[in-house]
Amino acid sequence: MDAVIEVKDLVKEYIIVKKESGLRGSIKSLLFPKKTKFNGVNGISFSISPGEIVGYIGPNGAGKSTTIKMLTGILHPTAGSIKVCGISPQADRKAVVRKLGVVFGQRTQLYWDLRLGESFELLRRIYQIDQVSYEENLAVLTDVLKLHDFMNTPVRQLSLGQRMRGDIAASMLHSPSVLFLDEPTIGLDADAKHAIRNFIKEINRTRGVTVILTTHDLDDVEQLCSRIIVVNNGKIVEDGPIGSIIHKLTPHRMLVVELQEPCQDLTTPHATVIKQEGLKIWYQFEKESISASELIAALSQKLPIQDISVKEPNVEDAIREVYKTTATV
């Protein structure tokens, strides 16, 4: 199956002018600027297949937004190549934009002084969507995103959650095959997050829309994405299915034991006591050294156990390990 997005050896170089303090320094910097080069994106390569939901994540300044801006044609790369639906965003941005839906959580494409429905109608004309397709799409989007109650409300009067749902609907009016979502649930309450996540799943399932999600909300990643690409310092540091990345990056498991009565000796050569609260003890063990069942059997021989549970690592644990590792590089 051909990739819907193909990125090869992508580089984006910035020139930074170092400014000196004080009036003398400002004049000196103006006349004799000291310039240094900085790679916001440094040799990134990846491909995304049709219908994938991919989390593109990393710490602030890692190169996420720069990559997305190049994929959408807003920025031009210093080196490397990009193909979106077989088209270069830099060579033919208009053709690419017709195949993309883009939502930036901190910005809106809606028109502040217009009613939400009027904003949609204006976008219909901008994208030259035929009336039948527009009405069909709008009916589906209104139903799934629950837009009925505020369709006639001016955009400036919408709550953050309502505006975000309106923005996502606006990005899908022209039936794009690829959807870029940058922090789509930032600042939203639980109900709004639930509605947006359900919508993303629905358009992916029913329309096969490819979704690239950048977010700091790892609940979004865990609930929506089958694959994650982790970037840091302008480079890809991990790329693969969520399950395999969690397995690779989190070698430890946690066993939580609740005792029937206090015990003096809680130690075991197979695990480390991480925390104790009254009769509850947290043991950390390496999954490659001993299985949970073996550790439970060993502890049962020396401790009066009341209850026991195993805490599996999640995507947050894995990403924390990525950031910890790359911070020292």
16 DSSP β-pair partners: 36
CA distances (Å), 297 to each of 256, 262, 268, 291, 303, in order? 14, 19, 12, 10, 10
Q: Considering the chain, what is the average pLDDT of its residues?
A: 87
Q: Where are the domains of the chain?
A: 5-247, 251-312
Cα distance between residue 144 and residue 170, in whole Å = 13
Which numeric CATH code is attached to 5-247? 3.40.50.300
Cα distance between residue 193 and residue 219, in whole Å = 10
pLDDT tens digit string along 65-109? 889 889 988 899 999 999 999 999 988 888 888 899 988 877 788
Higher pLDDT, 281 or 250: 281
Measured between alpha carbons, how far apart are the two ends of the chain, in Å? 36
pLDDT tens digit string along 6-36? 999 999 998 877 777 777 767 777 777 777 8
pTM score, two decimals? Answer: 0.77
3-state secondary structure of 93: helix
Structure tokens at 79: 């080196």
pLDDT over 70 percentage in the chain: 96
Name the band, by pLDDT with cuts 50, 70 and 90, for residue 193: confident
In the prediction, which pLDDT does 325 show?
58
Which residue, among 295, 294, 304, has the nearest Cα to 272 in the 3D structure? 295
pLDDT tens digit string along 237-279? 889 998 888 777 777 888 999 999 999 899 999 899 999 999 9
In the prediction, which pLDDT does 324 show?
65
Helix count and strand count (H, E) for the chain: 11, 13
In the prediction, which pLDDT does 328 show?
46
Q: Which residue is it, tokens 């979704």?
A: 211
